[in-house]
Amino acid sequence: MELKCKVQNYDWGKLGRESTVAKLVSQAHPEESIDDSKPYAELWMGTHPNGPSLIIERGILLSEYIKANLDAIGPEVRKQFGVAVPFLLKILSVRKALSIQAHPKKEHAEELHKNFPDIYKDPNHKPELAIALTPFEALCGFRPLSEIKTFLSKLPELTSILSKESVDVLQACEGQGDNDKVLRDVFHSLMTSDKTAIANSLQSLLTRLENEDTSTQTSLLLPLLRRLHTDYPGDVGCWAPYFMNYLQLRPGHAVFLKPNLPHAYISGDCVECMACSDNVVRAGLTPKLIDVATLVSMLDYSSYAPDQLLFTPQLEDANSCIWRPPVKDFAVIKIRVESGDSYNTINRPSPSLIIITSGQGEVCDTEPVSARPGVVVFLKASRQLTLTPKDGNHLEAYQAICNV
């Protein structure tokens, strides 16, 4: 069943036809006009109440359809999640950084929702998987302590706003075993610094680095700092790259954002899949609420090398690979079928959301649907979809399922 899906026009999205979201929407629905001055940030596929998908042929919401057709969900998913599609599949097109954030564990989310329902709107966790479609930049996880110590030794503008005690303890730390204590104290010191002092220190560093040689500018991340500061002047999050890993993903690379892992998307286009939740605890690069006490208490202060953060898929057959994270809410499959071939998707005990990202052809369960970039279909549990490219063409698609 082909779906009409919701576009979210958040301010950080790429503008007009620069956006993969806009390109996919216009290719799937040529009648839709694209406004080149408007941001097209996210395409939502699923049953989330803030952007529910519509079954085009039936003229009803997917969420209403599954209530009346329990077989669409399947017994295994119903047993685990009830009558629901527990994941949200998205395409993101990022022009400027999203907020630095982390998502609570399930038990913590339940506690936050109970105590602060106006801030934390639901009791669910929000693990996320991001797969790059274009070159993609992100901040993710704390750096190795040795790198943070080196930055602090070269950035007096930063240490001037941190407590001397927290910096001294960090610099004296020998190994990674003390991460939780030393990084927690330094990060707490940063997040509670005076806003005027933060803004002044950032401006001082930018002014100094503009007069340094190219090598120094590169090693102290001036190009990234300059971009963040242009979009979020004076924001505490502009200091984050000196504490967090700066990832530059190539198309096909993925990261899994487990609970409590600090992260921020900076630029590029990706496929994202997540558990259905709106629980976000923010740490900067945002005008929204920063809940410092909750954030500092929950973060994963482990140090990661960048390659530890890459999440590798498993090959399933000649046409598909799967990213299967350690949660039951979702997994994502990439499917590619070349010209002259045809492919039946693997039979899953879960409903599927499938988006065509490139190529031409048709997809068929019982009735064929024209397949072109941006076309999204819902597939019932325990059913197969046949993907057949046009002659001289290919089909590439991403399929989201429950990980049951």
Positions marked catalytic:
282
Q: Are 282 and 290 in contact (CB under 8 A)?
A: yes
3-class state of residue 399 by DSSP = strand
Task: For residue 333, count CB atoms less than 10 angstroms from its CB and return exposed for 0-12, middle for 13-18, buried for 19 or more.
Answer: buried
Q: What own/partner pairs with CB < 8 Å and gap ≥ 24 does 172-176 have?
A: 173/145, 173/149, 175/145, 176/144, 176/145, 176/303
Residue 145 contacts residue 173 (beta carbons within 8 Å): yes
Give the separation between CA 400 and CA 334, rounded to whole angstroms. 9
Q: Judge contact between 148 and 301, C-beta under 8 A.
A: no
Report the C-alpha gap between 394 and 363 in whole angstroms: 12
* DSSP assignments along 91-109, one per residue: EEEESSPPPEEE---HHHH
Helix (H, G, I), strand (E, B) or coil at 251: coil
User: How far is CA 115 from its chain centroid?
Assistant: 26
Residues 6+ apart with CB under 8 A from 185: 163, 165, 166, 169, 170
List of E strands, 292-330: 314-317, 320-323
Q: What is the DSSP code (8-state) at residue 147?
A: H
Q: Coil, strand or helix: which one is 309? A: helix
Of 403, 400, 395, which is closest to residue 46 (Cα–Cα)?
A: 400
Task: Indicate the DSSP class of residue 390.
Answer: P
Cα–Cα distance for residue pair 178/107, rounded to 1 Å: 26
361, 395 in Cβ contact below 8 A? yes
The identity of residue 401, as a single letter, is I
- Let me know how long the chain is: 404
**CA nearest neighbour of 118 among 283, 279, 228, 331:** 279
